Amino acid sequence: MIPMRHKRFDKMECPIARSLERVGEWWTILILRDALLGTTRFDEFQKSLEIAPNILTRRLRAMEEAGLLQRRRYSERPPRDEYILTRRGRDFSPVLLALLAWGNKHFAPEGESVSLVDARTGLTAVPAMYDAVSGRPITMRDFQFRPGPAANERIHRRYGAPKRERETK
């Protein structure tokens, strides 16, 4: 039902691939961005994104089916809907923050066009990944991907044992 470009990604079972499957197309991410900023109405999205209305309709529908947005009727006559982020949609914000940080660092030679600022201090924030359990910043040296409880054979091949352990056998 949901138009998915690459069903293969879901088959991979990798959570990253699965996320990509759900986020679907590029517009989806920008729609999520606007929704996080408080946009809820069709024409607000359309003006902000300069997206063709038929495309916006299609994306909005797909996002509703994917559980990222919930449509809510705010007027019965005439029938008017608005699009509210679900929990799942709001939980996408770390991805947006990471994309923002990456873009600002690498593709803004003339300076940042959008910054994330601390509302209390007004200082420009530097979003980074930490492990909420240990409190330490995540680096690929200190942390590693490992097969989880639901891992299948493919996952075990890809993420299987870290190299140092493998060498012992």
Binding to DNA (CB under 7 A): which residues in 95-154?
none
d(CA 92, CA 68): 9
CA torsion angle 104 107 109 115 (round to 10): -20
The yes or no reply on residue 59 touching DNA (CB under 7 A) is yes
User: What residue type is assigned to position 91 of the chain?
Assistant: D
Q: What are phi and psi for residue 157, nearest 5 degrees? A: -65, -40
The yes or no reply on residue 168 touching its own copies (CB under 8 A) is no
The yes or no reply on residue 57 touching its own copies (CB under 8 A) is no
The yes or no reply on residue 45 touching its own copies (CB under 8 A) is no
The yes or no reply on residue 144 touching its own copies (CB under 8 A) is yes
CB under 7 A: which stretch of 4-12, 87-95, 142-150, 159-167 binds DNA?
4-12
The yes or no reply on residue 7 touching its own copies (CB under 8 A) is no
- Shortest distance in whole angstroms from residue 18 CB to its own copies: 5
List the single partner that 72 binds among DNA, its own copies, none, CB under 5 to 8 Å by kind.
none
The yes or no reply on residue 55 touching DNA (CB under 7 A) is yes
Plot region of 38 (φ>0 → left; ψ -120 to 50 → alpha; else → beta)? left
CA atoms within 13 A on the CB side of 45: 27
Among 57, 80, 102, 161, binds its own copies (CB under 8 A): 102
Element of type H or E holding 34: helix 26-36
